[in-house]
A and B are shown apart, each in its own frame.
Chain A
Amino acid sequence: MGERMSYENKDKQRVFNEEFMPHIDAMYNFAFRLTLDEDDAKDLVQETFMKAYRFINSFETGTNAKAWLFRILKNSFINNYRKKSKQPNKVDYQEVESYYNSDSVNENITTDLRVETVQHLIGDEITNALNSLDVDFRTVIILCDLEGFTYEEMAKILDIPIGTVRSRLHRARNLLKEKLKQYASSLGYKDKRK
């Protein structure tokens, strides 16, 4: 990185305060949904803002600051937390699992997830279902459904093609439906139907 002094120090702080800081709540929420831990989330947000300040010259004023910040946060998360937990790639497993389940569902289980059932579920059940998804699937749902990013913005944040964003989102939603269905039947919502 060359020393491209696009911003004077005073401007840096102004851009930082006006364009970056307003997103702190969304960033914290995203960080918490990824790490599922308050302290880790705090550290992650802090680290993201420090990086944002350090690389502020690569941010163009007036462009999408939120997407830019989310991308830094996501990359920091991968660097810090993924490497540590040397888990096998769970996404592959869950994808296989979801195909398997979707086949068996049609044949064996007669209970479908219904709109009324979803409306009866409370926050905790939905939160738990979301948190139980592997982080890659969780991430696309958070970005799309909670934060309202477009597919194109998500592709940039996640560094993957739009087609992959869409198929991952589709799979994530199917998995979420499966989880909600499990909750619903374990809680006996099935019986509420006539």
Chain B
Amino acid sequence: MELEQNQACTELLLLVIDGQATEEQHQELMRHLEECESCREEYLLSKSIKDSLKSHIKINGTPKDLANSIQNKISETASLK
């Protein structure tokens, strides 16, 4: 019983964190978080990991010549037809 409850919480939590929950689901989770400490911690942790990924993963700059070389190949292909 408790396990099922946990699983339902986890699913709800992920939906909210990923911004794909409905308004009702969002509020349901918020109500639950007020009374459940372990879910609250889980929520904050998952959220902070997601935020860290977004802000810390290095974006590798696209090589400057890549766009040009693609454009050139496309022009070649197009003019062959």
Contacts and interface: CB of A to CB of B under 8 A. Distances in A.
A69 B77 CA distance: 19
A13 B57 CA distance: 33
Given A28-B66, A46-B70, A49-B70, A173 B56 contact: no
Interface string B46-63: 101110111011111011
B81 interface: yes
A53 B58 contact: no
Nearest to A49: B70
Interface in A1-33: 9, 12-13, 16, 21, 24-25, 28-29, 32
Interface of B is mostly: helix
A73 interface: no
B23 to A, nearest CB: 16
B22 interface: no
Contacts of B62: 24-25, 28-29
Contacts of B75: 13
A16 B74 contact: yes
B48 A13 contact: no
B48 A118 contact: yes
B30 interface: no
A158 interface: no
Interface of B: 10-11, 14, 18-20, 41, 44-46, 48-50, 52-54, 56-60, 62-63, 66-67, 69-71, 73-75, 77-78, 81
Interface of A: 9, 12-13, 16, 21, 24-25, 28-29, 32, 38, 41-42, 45-46, 49-50, 53-54, 113-115, 118-119, 121-123, 126-127, 130, 141, 144-146, 148, 150-151, 166, 169-170, 173, 176-177, 180
15 contacts: A9-B81, A24-B66, A46-B73, A50-B74, A50-B77, A53-B74, A114-B45, A115-B41, A119-B48, A130-B53, A144-B18, A146-B53, A146-B54, A148-B19, A150-B20
Given A45-B66, A118-B48, A145-B53, 7 more contacts: A16-B74, A21-B70, A24-B67, A25-B59, A115-B45, A123-B56, A141-B53
